[in-house]
Amino acid sequence: MTDSDELLILIDATSAIKEKRMIAFNGEVDDGSYKFIMSIADFAHFGVDNAGLDPIGSVDVITTALTRLIGDKARKNDLLPTTKLSAS
């Protein structure tokens, strides 16, 4: 995959749930389905306070940033069935 390749990334904010100190949600990259997890602290990095109280709204609010993080992982071939995302 080259940087010029377009990725189709769809994030399902309605699937978001709190799992311990993480928010988990589903998404699709091209034709594959994945589960993504990100710490509640990383949501705060994007300006979302108390993400654990509203996981769906929290994922929805930072969809653009999540799409960029997922795209970076995909371009590096770092996508796993469950992929951890990080703000740093």
DSSP structure class, residue 52: G
Element (H, E) at 22: strand 22-29
What pLDDT is stored for residue 5 in this prediction? 65
Q: What is the pTM of this model?
A: 0.90
Number of domains in the chain: 1
Q: What is the pLDDT of residues 6-58, one digit of tens each?
A: 899 999 999 999 999 999 999 999 989 999 999 999 999 999 999 999 999 99
**CATH code at position 78:** 3.30.160
Whether the per-residue pLDDT at 4 is higher than 60: the answer is: no
In a domain, 3, yes or no: no
β-bridge pairing 9-19 and 32-39 = unpaired
- Is residue 2 a part of any domain in this protein? no
Task: Provide the domain limits for residue 45.
Answer: 9-85
H or E element, residue 39: strand 32-39
